[in-house]
Amino acid sequence: AQTVTQSQPEMSVQEAETVTLSCTYDTSESDYYLFWYKQPPSRQMILVIRQEAYKQQNATENRFSVNFQKAAKSFSLKISDSQLGDAAMYFCAFRGGGATNKLIFGTGTLLAVQP
Amino acid sequence: GAVVSQHPSWVICKSGTSVKIECRSLDFQATTMFWYRQFPKQSLMLMATSNEGSKATYEQGVEKDKFLINHASLTLSTLTVTSAHPEDSSFYICSASLTMNTEAFFGQGTRLTVV
């Protein structure tokens, strides 16, 4: 069974600084997808970034980028130029490449942004 | 992105009664929807996969007679919590995807309180 591990329950970053959130996963599949979701206090889940396992290039979305290490089964999220609005719970998620579309979530990292 | 609407946003019910939560894909058809449960400060736990026109697939440990799922159309899935107890109080979230290989869009969630 696939598992997703986020070892940092809480993180803090100064506004305008950079922070990296860690995520590791375990799977026997070779084809899969990885995601980072943001859940602000409103509790609406928002997709931050996605990475297809077959792509070697790390995904980037504006200030958000990932460091995808397939062999190490690591998928960290880097937030550059942190903003107050980035404060939220961040979940790493795994989805297999098979017929099912279900997501397996990590336990989350609560990010605080200090002004 | 696509919009998934969940209703109600919050509900309070008495022990022993049943509560229905709706999940609608507003601008796309979703053959598959997912229901998650989230306890305070915890991750999302997949409860079941809702398949249009067929029976839902429940995750291990989730009582199918307790959490009834109906996916009668391509835009609507419902979760009914039957004979609710205080321990059923939680945050319930649904998600849907356009296709099997695209991102999941989440509803805004339903906070259920059983008194």
pLDDT digits (tens, 9 = 90+) for A41-50: 999 999 999 9
Task: Quote the minimal CA–CA distance from B38 to chain A in Å.
Answer: 10
Binning pLDDT at 50, 70 and 90, where does residue A97 land?
confident
**What are the residues whose beta carbons fall under 8 Å from the beta carbon of B35, sequence distance 6 or more?**
B23, B46, B47, B48, B50, B67, B69, B77, B79, B92, B93, B94
Q: Is the pLDDT of residue B30 over 90?
A: no
Query: CB distance from B104 to chain A under 8 Å?
Result: yes
Q: Which residues of A touch B (CB under 8 A)?
A: 33, 35, 42-45, 47, 50, 91, 99-108, 110
Which of A103, A104, A109, A111 has the highest number of chain B CBs within 10 A, making it the mutation to test binding with B? A103
Q: What's the average model confidence in pLDDT over B48-69?
A: 92
Residue B51, pLDDT score: 84
Tell me, what's the pLDDT at B101? 61
Residue B100 confidence (pLDDT): 61
